[in-house]
Structure 1
Amino acid sequence: MVVDQEGVVETPAPAHRGGWWRRDHPVFIPLTGFFTGTVLVSIIVVALGAVLRLIGLDLTENPQYFAIAIAALLVIDAGLMVWERSRRFARYMLFGLLITPVVAGATAALTLYLLINND
């Protein structure tokens, strides 16, 4: 609180709590969005498998549960795209959601290829 010569009280604006990197760094939102999508795909698959195992169901016999979980992630991402402030984050999150299975599949295919050819 600052009082000037005329007795007027001025309150300084509060400092931004997030620091410079949250509002000014150009790669903060893309990186957090991409890795959020990557982590969510991984967590959803593992958590869904664990829950189905606890219930006594097998994911290979009930693939519709996997499709429902992935559809829920896409609906959440679409909801984030509607809100203008989170649209950029949601685009990179969608990229992370879509690229993770591609990278995992390509890595598995390359590993299998190398194992078969080097045997």
Structure 2
Amino acid sequence: MDKAQVIASVAGDLYATEQSVDEAIARATTLVQSMIGSRTALNVSPVMGADAQAKAMEAIAALGAARSAVVACHEELAKDHRRMGWGTYAEFGQDKGQGDRPKTTGEHRLRAV
């Protein structure tokens, strides 16, 4: 593999990891919502399932910390990439919800996370 392919491979794995963590957060919040909704639908006391719900919310907090770590990893990889003088590579083979865009060159600043 040449340099661009190696970089694209790491970038693909990074994007997949970011997407997986986001999906896990969404699924965990849906779980909590389902737990609350089902308790209400069954007309069960809020005490029932409170411990399980608290554990699910702990998991959401842990996933939030994991997301922050993955974002920090992304930032560090971007710094290393620039330090090595490799410029900016834009591979749009992965669908990041941004549609097709042309390849970019030069330094660009992150506007939103």
**Shorter-chain-normalised TM-score: which range?**
0.3 to 0.5
Greater RCO between the two (CA within 8 Å, min separation 6)?
Answer: 1
TM-score normalised by length of structure 1: 0.36
- Structure number with the higher helix fraction is 1
Q: Which has the larger radius of gyration?
A: 1
